[in-house]
Structure 1
């Protein structure tokens, strides 16, 4: 068993920082429950990664096309058959792993992955990518000159993996001259992706050879024998990498995973909050539209509208984790109203006219007029809600363009006639049983 030599102290420091980062993400109580539910699998992976670091484990994954000898390579490194090496394509259907007992520092695990070029293999390819992004070292295996498909995959893996070595397998099938040419070609085509010293040749499962045995009496017997695997150069290179960079690789890999997780978490929180905010806004739109339509006193309509909009803003602040009081909501509402009065003055005139008509109308005309006024109120609250949501989404800020730009952009993005028609239908559906 080969022991890893002591590593630089900064490796321990990097691991400590990575551990702290992962724990903070796992223990962050500010994450809404719906977001945690949506990212349940990512949280599980985060927990696995934290446990991996705490136990000092190193993960080494193998990556490549179907039948390049990935499983055979892992078996050769292990010195025993732990991974299937069936000649059938697609034998490895999910990531599997085994502990590499040759090391006695923490624990090194070798991980097999499905082939990257399977037909209709998007799920397998995504699985391989996920394994690569969580591995500390990836062995990208080819069995000849690298193809365009492999080169594309190599670039993708390079973006996901912290440390990468390129392995040319089945080297026993080539002459010395062909080996030299292949290595030169691989170095040239992988320039900028792989360091020359990280391109290794192996014969993980050499082809059988015919051997002539001669007994004591001179009788010849023909038999087939498979030469032993030749992975010495690769094994030594892996040892050197783990000695020099093992802890730092693990720390960097954890840091990158944490960064990607944090970005996904932020996006998911935004999506969840926007969904909740939209429900809140539409709830207040309908409540205000019905209240304004039912109230025959125009002045009371306006007061009810302001109170409803202020309550909606307070509610939106809670959705975005930025609570505000009624006074702050009133000030924010005044800012939005000022922009609406400037940009949308004719709508508010329509609102006042409809209010006056509602006070003198009778029968069905009252319902129709009330529905029209309620729809305008619904639309106004919708614009207010969208503007307030944008303000909270930007951390209680209007951004560089100020409130006027935010309100203008919202008005430009809306299909006013469609929204008013939707509002009228919703309000009339609520009003008819009451009037």
Structure 2
């Protein structure tokens, strides 16, 4: 119990006892005076005396109980761990991680799968009670390392040995009074450095910044556009930031206030005015009149106060927000890997079916439009592409989709355009006598490719053609697959898969005819 409360309690007891003695003496005299002349009045005074003493005792007991209850509450608050991660955000992060694990199970690349699982376990650890990550970010000349050194010298609590390497920055583990979580204080490589190595270091710095719970963005003057862009990008993903103006010892008070005003104006809407603070992490030495050099102490108290206030008031929310952000980013990464995997599988299906169709048509020539209308082979391709994207279709539904797309190809003039395009390309690469038979097979392969690529887009978007409908998707695929570099590759492969077998069959027929003759 605090000394002030003990003193108050003792003084209160003395006052109560003094009043009690005075009342007892006064009332006893009155009682004896009235007991002879007015016994009833004397008895009433005695009753009043008893009630008054009881009231004094009740007040004393109540006061003691209130103090005891207050002490218990304070003890419970000291024993109780810091506020837990807000339930709603915690549940959202857990749900996202469960979804990630389900997605990871679909990834075939073992290295990528294990990497995602490792990240998900790390996020779960932070969810259960990890550290608060404070990251110092900015250009190499802004004085980030000086800021870190100054904070290390002034921060209350234990400072462990530095972790990490100079290439990715150094991290210190701190303890702040009033916070149960540890604080990881990280100095990152500078941004906007020249050369390939500088670009690589900046990428590492940005990755560390995106994982921070609290970001200290350090500048040494008015913020440049090249500095503002990464700050805005980090703020837009919800990163809690402080903008720190360093090296204020180089400016007059008037200039310092002018720079602070400009900074607060530039970051309005991204960072609150109270979160723009001025410091001098490593003040310049001062030459005294007696030729001695005086080294001023770092002026970082405004930053320490603001950091402490934010971490104590918002620490758990910052952790929860960051965990949820990291969970969502991990889910997006898993989704991209699955999307790339599905795309590769679907492309292989299209590649296989386009040459199957080419072989069938080149051996048994059919009008291309009729082949597309029949859509027998293409129906199977649609079913297999749908299966890759988790859509189970029967052949009948596959035929309906293939027929619909075939009619769209014909109505848009893509069939005719494809014949003209490929005829010209084949005439430049193949002897004239074989073009007639090859053109239908190669065109069928080309149209099947456009159809297959269109269906990939359809299934990628949950069986939805989009606002422009099937027509827009088909036209876009036709434009993508008519580029010169693609046509050259396609014709070379078509020669190997379609034209060469036709040439071989021609030679074989001639040899058979000669043998019969």
Deviation at 1:286, TM superposition (A): 1.1
- Of 442, 445, 449 in structure 2, the residue corresponding to residue 378 of structure 1 is 445
- Partner-residue secondary structure (3-state), 2:133: strand
Distance of aligned partners of 1:181 and 1:332 in 2 relative to their CA distance in 1, 3 Å threshold: closer
Partner residue, 1:97: 171
Deviation larger for 111-120 or 370-379:
370-379
Contact 2:373 2:403 in 1 (8 A): no
Measure, in 2, the Cα distance between the counterparts of 1:13 and 1:260.
18
State yes or no: 1:15 paired with 2:90. yes
- Of 457, 461, 466 in structure 2, the residue corresponding to residue 394 of structure 1 is 461
Measure, in 1, the Cα distance between the counterparts of 2:130 and 2:415.
68
State yes or no: 1:154 paired with 2:221. no
C-alpha offsets along residues 8-33 of structure 1, whole Å, 9 cap, x if unaligned?
66734423422432343244246432
Question: Counterparts of 1:253-268 in structure 2 under 5 Å?
Answer: 253-268=322-337
Q: Which runs of 5 or more residues in structure 1 are unaligned?
A: 85-90, 213-220, 351-363
Question: Counterparts of 1:2-151 in structure 2 under 5 Å?
Answer: 11-29=86-104, 31-34=106-109, 44-79=118-153, 92-103=166-177, 104-120=179-195, 121-151=198-228
Partner residue, 1:187: 264
Q: What TM-score comes out, normalization by structure 1 length?
A: 0.77
Question: Counterparts of 1:402-421 in structure 2 under 5 Å?
Answer: 402-411=469-478, 414-415=481-482, 418=487, 421=491
Contact 1:202 1:233 in 2 (8 A): yes
Deviation larger for 328-337 or 105-114:
328-337
The structure with the largest helix share of the pair is 2
Which structure is richer in relative contact order (CA contacts within 8 A, separation 6 or more)? Answer: 1
Question: Counterparts of 1:311-350 in structure 2 under 5 Å?
Answer: 311-343=380-412
Q: Which runs of 5 or more residues in structure 2 are unaligned?
A: 1-77, 154-158, 420-430, 509-517
Distance of aligned partners of 1:205 and 1:49 in 2 relative to their CA distance in 1, 3 Å threshold: farther
Structure 1 or 2, whichever has the larger Rg, is: 2
C-alpha offsets along residues 393-431 of structure 1, whole Å, 9 cap, x if unaligned?
221233344445544554455439948845651311244
Question: Counterparts of 1:225-374 in structure 2 under 5 Å?
Answer: 225-295=294-364, 306-343=375-412, 369-374=436-441
- Partner-residue secondary structure (3-state), 1:61: strand
Measure, in 2, the Cα distance between the counterparts of 1:303 and 1:183.
69
Deviation at 1:141, TM superposition (A): 1.4
Measure, in 1, the Cα distance between the counterparts of 2:230 and 2:446.
50
C-alpha offsets along residues 329-379 of structure 1, whole Å, 9 cap, x if unaligned?
22222322333454459769x9xxxxxxxxxxxxx9996544233223323
Contact 2:132 2:319 in 1 (8 A): yes
Question: Counterparts of 1:213-228 in structure 2 under 5 Å?
Answer: 223-228=292-297
Measure, in 1, the Cα distance between the counterparts of 2:148 and 2:230.
20
Distance of aligned partners of 1:233 and 1:405 in 2 relative to their CA distance in 1, 3 Å threshold: closer
Measure, in 2, the Cα distance between the counterparts of 1:161 and 1:72.
27
Distance of aligned partners of 1:162 and 1:185 in 2 relative to their CA distance in 1, 3 Å threshold: same
Distance of aligned partners of 1:176 and 1:289 in 2 relative to their CA distance in 1, 3 Å threshold: closer
Contact 2:160 2:174 in 1 (8 A): no
Distance of aligned partners of 1:345 and 1:92 in 2 relative to their CA distance in 1, 3 Å threshold: closer
Q: What TM-score comes out, normalization by structure 2 length?
A: 0.66
Distance of aligned partners of 1:75 and 1:23 in 2 relative to their CA distance in 1, 3 Å threshold: farther
- Partner-residue secondary structure (3-state), 1:75: helix
